[in-house]
Structure 1
C-alpha cells in the first residue's frame, strides 16, 4: 500500500539515509508493504533494504544495518492498516447483536481483525482469516495473538459461531504452535453448551499446545435486555458458575504441578455468581488476562491496600462519592472504608443498576451516563463524584450512551473525576491529591 512519510526524527536512521516528509516507503526487504504489520516485521531486522519514492517522483533504495530494537524514526499518515476487517460470524452470544438501537455507529462494528489482535490485544476467532492471510501470520511471526477458542469440539464451536468455518480451530492452533507463535485463549461460556465435559475437552486439547498456548480465560456470556429475535440463552447462574470453577480449579492444580502455571483462570464475575471469594493475588500470576475481567478486583484490592499503607501525602477532610457496577460495589465499598479511615474522607459508594442494557449486565465497564444521572440525582454526592475510567470509550470523556463527563457533571451539579484500576490512583483520588 505504501506509507506516506509525515515526519522524520532528527538524528534517526531515516534522516541519515535522506528520507523526508512527503516521501513514500513502498517496500521493505524487497517486498511491497501491505500494512503496518509488514513495517513492524521488517523494522525489527538488523539488516534490511528500504525502497523509497520521493515526493519528486524519484525512487531509491537504502541498505540499512542497525540493532534489532533500533527504530527507523519515521512517522506516517494514518494508522497503516487501512480498512478494518469485520467479523462474519453470527455468534449466539454476540454482545454487539444485543445492543439497543441509536448508539454511535462504531459500537456496532464487529472486529475480527488478526492485525488488531497482535497490536491491540483484541480477541479473534480466526474464522475470518483466509488461508493466504493465515500464511502471512505464520511468516510474519505475529506473536502473541489473542484467540477466542470457546470450544475445541468442532460441532459445538460451529454451533456457537453459527459458522461452518468454526470447525478446525485445533488445526490452526497447531500451525501457530509449530511456527513458534504464542497465543492467549478465551472461552465465553454458555451454560449447557460449552461448559461441563466440553470445557474439559477444550482444556485437555489446549494443554497439548502449551507453552505456545499460554493461558485460557473463562468468561461468562453477557445477556442484555435487547435480545429480540435472537436465540434464547440462559444466564450463568450460581450452580453453573460453581461447576465451571470446579473444573477450572481442578485443572489449575494439574497445570501448576506439571508446568508451574495455573493456565486456566476464571473471570471475577464467575466467583461473584458462585458466591466464592476472589482468589489470592499470587493465584493470578502475571495478570495477563485482566482485560477479560480476570483478577481485576483482586488486583485493585491488593494494589490499593499496598498504596494506602505506603501513602505519605497530605489529605484533607472531605465528602465524596463513587459510582460503580453492582458486582464491584461491595469490594469498592470495603476499599473506600479502609481509605476513608486513614485519609479522613467520607465516601459514598453507589452501585448503579444497568437499566440501559438490562439489569443482568452487572459489570462496571458497561455503565452509561444516563443510568448514573437517573440513579444519583438527589443523592448525597459530596464535593466530587468519581467513576472508573473503564466506563469511558474511544479514549474520550464519553460514556457508551454518548453522554460526556461534562454533561453528567452538569446534570448532577457536581464535578466528575475518573479513577484508573491502579491502587495508587485510587488512594490519591480519595485523598484529593492534585485537586484544588
Structure 2
C-alpha cells in the first residue's frame, strides 16, 4: 500500500540523522558537534532511525561518525559516566522520515481540518518510534511483522496504543483499514512479551460505546499489569466535516450514564489490581455537569498528556498554593484566556482568589471556538483570531495564555499568528503560563510563592 511508507518531507535526506540541538556544557558540545551535522554511524553501525541511535549512545563508551555540512567526516570516541547524557538531539525519527497512517478513521481530526493551515497540522503519523520516544498514540494497524518483531526483540516499552474497539469488525469499520482487525492478536503478542501499553479509546456515540466499550475495557483490563492505563476520550468534531461520515457528540445525559458506569469499572479494577486503570477525559465531567473525581481516582495520572485528569491535578495544585497566598497585593488586573470547557473551573477559582487576595481583579474570557466550531471546547485548539475577536481592547492590560495553546518550539497559535500579533491586536501584554496550578497562581499575583514543589 502506498500509504505504508514514510512521509515525503524527509525523503531527500541522505543517510544519517541530522543534529537539531546540542546542550550547553554537554559532551556533544565539548566534541564540537554542531546543529546541522549528521550522525552517520554509532560503533560502525549505520542508523536506521532514532531507536538505533538511542540504543547506541546508551553505552558508556561508543564511537560516533559525524559528517559536517562541508562533507568532512569526524570519528569521535566518547566516554561518559553512567547516567551522563550525550547532550545531542536529532532532527527527525529516521533518514526516510516518519511512517504515515494508512487508516481512514471516521473520526480522524486531521480530515476535519480546514485548508490553508501550516503543513505540519495535516501530518498523519502512525510510527511506533514516536510512540516510544514521544508518547504519541499509534494504532498498530500500520505495523508490519518485521516492525512488531523489532519492538519485541528490543523491548520498546511503554507504547501508547489507540485501541478504540476490541471487536475486530467494529474496529475495521471505524478505521476503514482491514489490518485494524488484528488488534487482539497484536496486543496479546506485545503484552505476553512484557511490553507495557497505555491504551486510548476515542469514543463515538452509536459506534464503539455501549456493549462494544464494555468489551474493550474488559479485554484490556484482563491484561493488567501489561496494560497500564486505559483512557476514554470523546470524539472531537469540527465544522469542517463535508463529505465525511455523519457523527455526533455525546449528550449530557449520555455522559452522565457513562460516568456512572465508569465508577463501577474503576471500583472493580481497584479491588482486583489496586489501580483504577480506566480514566475518563475531563470533557465528560464538564458535559455531565459533575465535579471532577478526587486525585486518588487518577492513581499516578498516567494519561495526563492526553488531557485526562488535567483539571483535577490543576485544582490540587491550586489548593496546595492556597495557604501561601498573600492577604493583599498592589492593585492588579489580570485577564485569563481559556476554552469554554474550563470556564466553570476558572470562574469559580477567580471568585475565590479575588475574595482571598485584596487588590486582585481577575477577568475570565472563555473563548468560543468559531474557527473549528463551538463543539470544540478545549483551550489547546483555540486560535489567535478567535481570541482577538472576542476579548477586544485590553487597554494595555495583562492577559495569561496557557502554554497548551502554542506550538511546542515557538510562540505560534494554530492559525500561525504569533503571541506578538495577538498582543498588538488586543492592546495588551501576554504572559505564557505552564500547565501548572502553582505557576498560574504566581502569574496571577505577580511573584513567586514559597512552596516546595516536591511535596
Q: Does the pair score TM above 0.5?
A: yes
- What's the counterpart of residue 148 of structure 1? 162
Kept in 1: contact 2:398–2:429 (CA 8 A): yes
2:122 matches 1:108: yes
- What's the counterpart of residue 195 of structure 1? 209
Aligned residues: 428
* Matching residue within 244, 248, 256 for 1:234: 248
Q: 1:390 to 1:51 in 2, by over 3 A?
A: closer
- What's the counterpart of residue 431 of structure 2? 417
Q: 1:351 to 1:264 in 2, by over 3 A?
A: same
Q: Deviations over 1:363-391 (max 9, x none)?
A: 1111111111111115x677212121111
CA distance in 2: counterparts of 1:9 and 1:349, whole angstroms? 40
Q: Secondary structure at the match of 2:124?
A: coil
Q: How many angstroms does 1:202 deviate by?
A: 0.6
- What's the counterpart of residue 58 of structure 2? 44
Kept in 1: contact 2:93–2:129 (CA 8 A): no
CA distance in 1: counterparts of 2:282 and 2:106, whole angstroms? 22
* Matching residue within 72, 81, 91 for 1:78: 91
Q: 1:8 to 1:112 in 2, by over 3 A?
A: closer
Q: Secondary structure at the match of 2:217?
A: helix
Q: Secondary structure at the match of 1:184?
A: strand
Q: How many angstroms does 1:300 deviate by?
A: 1.0
- What's the counterpart of residue 5 of structure 2? none
Q: Point out 4+ residue stretches in structure 1 off by more than 6 angstroms.
A: 4-11, 18-24, 53-62, 64-67
Q: Deviations over 1:237-288 (max 9, x none)?
A: 1232123223321111111001000000000101111222111122111112
- What's the counterpart of residue 361 of structure 2? 346
Query: 1:103-252, aligned counterparts within 5 Å?
Result: 103-252=117-266
CA distance in 2: counterparts of 1:75 and 1:43, whole angstroms? 10
2:282 matches 1:256: no
Q: Deviations over 1:316-348 (max 9, x none)?
A: 211121121111011011122222233331111
* Matching residue within 305, 312, 316 for 1:291: 305
Q: How many angstroms does 1:160 deviate by?
A: 0.8
CA distance in 2: counterparts of 1:325 and 1:95, whole angstroms? 18
Q: Secondary structure at the match of 2:329?
A: coil
Kept in 2: contact 1:368–1:400 (CA 8 A): yes
Q: 1:313 to 1:396 in 2, by over 3 A?
A: farther
* Matching residue within 329, 344, 362 for 2:377: 362
Kept in 2: contact 1:222–1:361 (CA 8 A): yes
Q: TM-score, normalised by structure 2?
A: 0.85
Q: Secondary structure at the match of 2:442?
A: helix
Q: 1:8 to 1:422 in 2, by over 3 A?
A: closer
Q: 1:50 to 1:178 in 2, by over 3 A?
A: farther
CA distance in 1: counterparts of 2:407 and 2:65, whole angstroms? 38
- What's the counterpart of residue 338 of structure 2? 324
- What's the counterpart of residue 441 of structure 2? 427
Which range moves more in the overlay, 1-10 or 284-293?
1-10
CA distance in 1: counterparts of 2:204 and 2:437, whole angstroms? 33
Q: Deviations over 1:353-411 (max 9, x none)?
A: 11100111111111111111111115x67721212111112422111111111111111
Q: 1:35 to 1:93 in 2, by over 3 A?
A: same
Q: How many angstroms does 1:312 deviate by?
A: 5.6
Q: Deviations over 1:45-103 (max 9, x none)?
A: 46x764747889899897x88766344x3636634533122212111001111111111
Q: How many angstroms does 1:208 deviate by?
A: 2.4
Q: 1:412 to 1:216 in 2, by over 3 A?
A: same
Q: Secondary structure at the match of 1:319?
A: strand
Kept in 2: contact 1:348–1:381 (CA 8 A): no
- What's the counterpart of residue 376 of structure 1? 391
CA distance in 2: counterparts of 1:302 and 1:401, whole angstroms? 32
- What's the counterpart of residue 390 of structure 1? 404
Which range moves more in the overlay, 23-32 or 359-368?
23-32
Q: 1:26 to 1:411 in 2, by over 3 A?
A: closer
Q: Secondary structure at the match of 1:374?
A: helix
Kept in 2: contact 1:86–1:112 (CA 8 A): yes
Which range moves more in the overlay, 247-256 or 333-342?
333-342
CA distance in 1: counterparts of 2:324 and 2:186, whole angstroms? 48
Q: 1:99 to 1:60 in 2, by over 3 A?
A: closer
Q: How many angstroms does 1:308 deviate by?
A: 2.5
